[in-house]
Amino acid sequence: MNFRKLEKISLKNHPDFTEKWLQDKISEDPSMLGLGELIVRGYERKQPRAGRIDLLLQEVDSDRRYEVELQLGKSDESHIIRTIEYWDLERKRYPQYDHTAIIIAEDITSRFLNVIQLLNGNIPIIALQIEAYELDNEIGLAFTKIFDEINFGLIEEDEEPLVVVDRNYWVQKATPETVDLANKIHNEILKEIDDNLNLKYNKYYIGLTRADKVNNFLRFKPRKNYVGVEIFIDKNEEIEEKFESAEIDLLDYNRKWGKYNLQIIEEDLEENHELLKDIFNIAYENWNF
């Protein structure tokens, strides 16, 4: 394989490229941003008493929307103000969606990052830096995530030490059968992965411990007719296809918390023991290593 040096170019200073050109390219293939499978919900979307959002994107399999502001060259104050304003207007107009602001620029300065870090505790913001390379009269684009939104701990995790319960609490909240099924998954699958894993009954979920320390790569929420299983793992289309082929109920991926939600019944455990074990083991390894 031969080595070829790429020539980095400035879109802002190049006569053939404009912000409109960049909008068009991202619209043609939003996956180039590296944020998963996205669809375009708006292009130059007009805002009441404001300007226009460069791009409004949405995840294919969830209600997560991205308000995107583009800028060639360096990021500046007006850029971040517009981004926050558009994000705020959209979340108020469409509260049924989960909104995140995205800033894309060729040069995201350290001063700009400092401002984003101050805001990120209250405003979900992602900063992407774009680089353009020219080769044989062709151009390629690369997007690098410089800053990601903060994922906060769940409320029930904060309250966990104060609300430890017992098995009977979950039997009354769900049913003896679904609580038994959660125990069966633990004994027949999780114990095969790591014999030191034990169940811990909390008010909001049944979690896991290992050597008396919390190890919640997976959590149970028994219901009346099934066991809800939360798996903390990166979004993976191959895993989704396997669950679909096995006809296991899989809810939309929760990107905010980084987890899949399954609805497991007795037949799922009997018919898909190895599949569940393999995927639970991936989550276990990602969590512990």
Q: Which helix (H) or strand (E) holds 267?
A: helix 266-271
pLDDT value at 94 more than 50: yes
pLDDT tens figures, 53-72: 889 999 876 778 999 999 89
Say if residues 230 and 259 touch (Cβ distance below 8 Å): yes
pLDDT value at 22 more than 70: yes
Say if residues 132 and 141 touch (Cβ distance below 8 Å): yes
DSSP state of 190: I
State the pLDDT at residue 162. Answer: 46
pTM above 0.75, yes or no: no
Cα 129–chain centre separation: 19
pLDDT value at 156 more than 70: no
State the pLDDT at residue 267. Answer: 93
Residue 110's Cβ-count burial label (10 Å; 0-12, 13-18, 19+) is exposed
CATH code for 155-288? Answer: 3.90.1150
> What is the C-alpha to C-alpha distance for residues 42 and 34, in angstroms, rounded to an integer?
19
State the pLDDT at residue 36. Answer: 83
7-147 belongs to which CATH class?
alpha beta
> What is the C-alpha to C-alpha distance for residues 259 and 241, in angstroms, rounded to an integer?
16
Q: Which helix (H) or strand (E) holds 172?
A: helix 167-173
> What is the C-alpha to C-alpha distance for residues 139 and 246, in angstroms, rounded to an integer?
42
State the pLDDT at residue 277. Answer: 96
pLDDT value at 6 more than 60: yes
pLDDT value at 155 more than 50: no
**Position 199: which residue type?**
L
Give the angle subtended at the CA of 121 by the CAs of 119 and 127, to the nearest 5°.
60
Q: Of the given ranges (22-36, 121-135, 144-158), which has the lowest mean pLDDT?
A: 144-158
- Name the residue ranges covered by the structural domains of the chain: 7-147, 155-288
| Nearest alpha carbon to residue 256 among 29, 30, 36 | 36
State the pLDDT at residue 268. Answer: 94
> What is the C-alpha to C-alpha distance for residues 200 and 142, in angstroms, rounded to an integer?
45
Average pLDDT score over the chain? 85
